[in-house]
A and B are shown apart, each in its own frame.
Chain A
Amino acid sequence: MSTVPTIDYEKIKGVHKIPLEELYTSGHRTCQGCESATTMRGFIKAAGSRTVVTGATGCMYVANTSYMTTPWIVPWMHTQLGAGGSSAVGMAAGLRALKRKGKIKDEKINVINFSGDLGAGDMGIGGISAALQSDYDLLIIMYDNESAANTDIQATGSTTYGAQTTFTPPGTKHPIMQRRWKKNVAGMLAVGHPTCRYVATACATFPPTDYLNKVRKALSIGGPTFIHTYDPCPKGWDYHPRFSNELGELGIKCGIYPLYEIVEGQIIYTWDARKTGKGRIPVKEFLTKQGRFDHLQEEHFTHIQKMVDEMWEEWEFPGVAPIKGILKARI
């Protein structure tokens, strides 16, 4: 196990307590209103300066090494599309070896990998699975903008059912070309890695400070940990950049993206529609605010609503794992 204990972070109680200094700073080639940039800025604010970051190829890699310049203040390394998990393991192993040999000071250095939904959820899932079984302290953050946004919006396993992408252009006869239901990455990794002590889903801006505290919690708990963030993308989802905030909020409130954390095997819902007294808002309210769903018809909204209802009402662990109980059948 690790030679140095993890950093014991304080909980950020309210927006006024967010650290003021930027360690991921201005001057990056992201879109106007990029929510993934907010996610990136957030995790490094929460983690602090004693951190090294690796990033798999994706939108947020190309945006941040624009022609020999970078907005990073902490060390950051680019790695291949599917190598998010293995780069984090390699980085953590390297740091441990350097400390053991006395080449660097024996202090806690956080290792964070930041990969997209294609990099982490589809292509790099094997490496991330291996990383979550390792004995290193590392955090993998999957920023999910529901497409391969770097190459102008191709569908991935995380794209919402029915969305228009370059791979799934709607036709007049077949309006639904994205026929896959969104992959449940956080749930899958939690279920599949019994020794992983922290898995969470988050959204950079809603509820405020929730995401920053999840990053701090993951780093404090230690071991390999995983956070899946939901990042509205003005380019691919096709909405005006000023609404990035609202779209994330609506996605959570309609229940299509559940917010929870799993600490040592126990689920905590960090935003629960069932407890607000108002219940979930209709999914349609969220979908009609995006140009990528402009072609959907009433029957499709109904279908998506039905799938979301099922997630919350029929799953044994609502929103987390699609297991609907034990079948009582005679053998």
Chain B
Amino acid sequence: MIKRVEVNYRGIFQKNLGKKIGSDIVMIASRMGQRAFSNGRYSDSPERNGIPCKYFAFVSPDLPEEELEAECGAKLEIDEADVSVVLDDTMCKGVEPWGWHGIRPINERVVKDGCLLVVSKKKPEELLKFIGKKPYNYRIAILDGDASLAGLWVNKDDMTHERILGGIAAVDPAIISIEAVESYLMDKTKQKHRAEAARAAYESLRAEAKPPRVKTVTPNDGIDWPHKIPVLPKWFEMQEGAVVPAVKRGFEMGPRGQNRNPGFKRGTTKTQRPAVRFDLCTKCTLCWAECPDECFDPTTDGFYDIEYQYCVGCGKCAEVCPVKECIVMVDELQFEDDHSPWEHWKKDSKEYIAWVEGKKGKERVSYPVVTGKGRTVTQGEVMPEGKIVPVRKTEEVEV
């Protein structure tokens, strides 16, 4: 028997976290007398900030090490996972780590009666609005918390790591037991609060816990998956000399007027998306000029529409925008589609402003310059229509 765990994480931001969870599952399982090993998904390398990536851990009580490795080691991607950990709930909208992969459901690998363990502040029902249907029953467990984002060098020690280990022990004790998790954390760190954090997470996910955080998902729950999975070209379909056809040249003003790479959209990279109040826009061009992903479309009336399918949510546009509350980064799970905001605004500007303010809500979540050093929540402001308040004066530069 082999138990498989996959850890879905945000590239670079959660690289160290994902790796630590994988290696600690191995350490704990071996202390329980099982054989185990862990590896990253080869094709995720080189990892990029925000791209959905995976770490795997395999545990077996009966197979010898060589057989376990032969069974699981040399595989690009696993076929099934008993527990699929999701370290950032915005990945529930689907994952697209590279070209020709397509946007796939987050629960793609979860087996019958397996578990999707998500770190989130949302309820299972809210997440199931984005998750694809499965033909069988499985469980969704919510580990209460915000996605822990850190940098490559500066780690964020907010106990997500310990809590995930406790969570896995709760949803599938055959992989690791909570007693083994506790004793391992005590022996390794000598810090009691780490073992306690794991225990608290374990208790919160037990069947008798209140409020219940584990829900059985039936084949009726979830959505019909809207994205097609592309078929990889066969070797004889490829062009000689590793030639890749260029994107066909094409540009016109207006939404989606620019030809873009159809093979790789990567909108699933974002955890937040820019929401625009067009009535506050001064047409300064900065969001468009500084966008590293070319996802702003100039319109005939001088505005810049956003193509959300290609936006990766870096937040640069919101940062360089010189007007208060004009571009604001909003939680990706607030949005169910990628329609053009400019067209929406043109159709009915009053309705659009009310809609976008509803999505923005009151809180503005942002990260400090060094990502691992926390997360700030400030109160936003609802600007009356057309009231332009500059936030920063651009320095006059002679070129």
User: Chain A: which residue is nearest B318 at the CB level?
Assistant: A242
Within 8 Å CB of B249, what residues of A? 23, 49, 73
- In angstroms, Cα B352 to Cα A153, docked, is 43
B152 adjacent to A241 (CB under 8 Å): no
Point out the residues of chain A lying under 8 angstroms from B101, CB to CB.
67
B258 engages A235 (CB within 8 Å): no
Residues of A within 8 A of B12 (CB): 31, 235
Task: Assess A243 versus B49: contact at CB under 8 Å? Given A32-B313, A271-B397.
Answer: no
* Of the residues A63, A68, A151, A292, contact of B48 by C-beta under 8 Å: A63
**A41-B292, A164-B153, A271-B397 known; A72-B247 Cβ under 8 A:** yes
CB 8 Å contact bits of B299-327 with A (1 = contact, 0 = none): 00000000100101111101110000000
**Interface assignment of B265: CB less than 8 Å from any CB of chain A:** yes
Could you give 29 example pairs across A and B, Cβ below 8 Å?
A26-B295, A27-B260, A27-B261, A27-B264, A28-B261, A32-B48, A32-B313, A33-B292, A67-B101, A68-B263, A69-B100, A69-B244, A69-B261, A71-B261, A72-B247, A74-B246, A150-B46, A152-B46, A152-B47, A208-B399, A210-B397, A234-B314, A238-B370, A240-B367, A242-B316, A242-B366, A244-B316, A245-B316, A294-B154
B371 within 8 A of partner (CB) = yes
Contact A21 B251 (CB under 8 A): yes
Query: Are the C-beta atoms of B290 and A38 separated by less than 8 Å?
Result: yes
Contacts of B245 in A (CB 8 A): 70
Contact with A along B21-51 (1 / 0, CB 8 A): 0000000000000000000000001111111
Measured in the bound complex, the distance between the Cα atoms of B307 and A28 in whole Å is 14
A289 within 8 A of B: yes
**Residue ranges of B at the interface with A (Cβ–Cβ < 8 Å):** 12, 45-51, 98-101, 151-154, 233, 238, 244-249, 251, 253, 258-266, 269-270, 284-286, 289-295, 298, 307, 310, 312-316, 318-320, 329, 366-372, 397, 399
Q: How far is the CB of B180 from chain A (nearest CB, A)?
A: 31
Closest to A242 in B: B315
Contacts of A16 in B (CB 8 A): 285
Pairwise interchain contact B266-A27, C-beta atoms closer than 8 A:
yes
**In the bound complex, do residue A241 and residue B47 qualify as a contact, i.e. CB atoms below 8 Å apart?**
no
Measured between alpha carbons, how far is A234 from B316 in the docked complex, in Å? 12
Complex-state Cα separation, A104 to B261, whole angstroms:
28
Q: Say whether A65 faces chain B, with CB atoms less than 8 Å apart.
A: yes
**Given A71-B247, A205-B290, A234-B49, 8 other A-B residues pairs in contact with their CB atoms under 8 A:** A15-B286, A28-B264, A29-B98, A66-B264, A238-B371, A243-B319, A246-B369, A291-B151
B254 → chain A closest CB, angstroms: 11
B399 near A270 (CB under 8 angstroms)?
yes
Closest to A67 in B: B99
- Residues on the A chain within 8 Å of B260, using CB: 25-27, 71
Is A134 an interface position by the 8 A CB rule? no
A194 on the B face (CB < 8 A)? no
Contacts of B307 in A (CB 8 A): 26
Q: How many Å lie between the Cα of A22 and that of B260 in the bound state?
A: 9
B-contact bits for A6-18, CB 8 A (1 contact / 0 none): 0000000001101
- Does A290 make an interface contact (CB < 8 A)? yes
Q: Are A289 and B370 in contact (CB under 8 A)?
A: yes
What's the nearest-Cβ distance from chain A to residue B295, in Å?
5
- Does chain B have a CB within 8 A of A192? no
Contacts of B368 in A (CB 8 A): 240
**Known A-B contacts A68-B244, A152-B47; A238 and B259 likewise in contact (beta carbons under 8 Å):** no
Residues of A within 8 A of B265 (CB): 26-27
Contact A20 B251, beta carbon cutoff 8 Å = yes
**Distance between Cα atoms of A153 and B246 in the complex (Å):** 29
A 56-94 contacts with B by CB, 8 A: 59, 62-63, 65-76
Q: Evaluate whether A15 and B294 lie within 8 angstroms (CB atoms) in the complex, with A33-B316, A291-B370 already known.
A: no
Cα distance A260–B251 in the bound complex, in angstroms: 34
On whether the beta carbons of B247 and A73 are closer than 8 Å, the reply is: yes
By a CB distance below 8 angstroms, the chain B residues around A21 are 251, 258
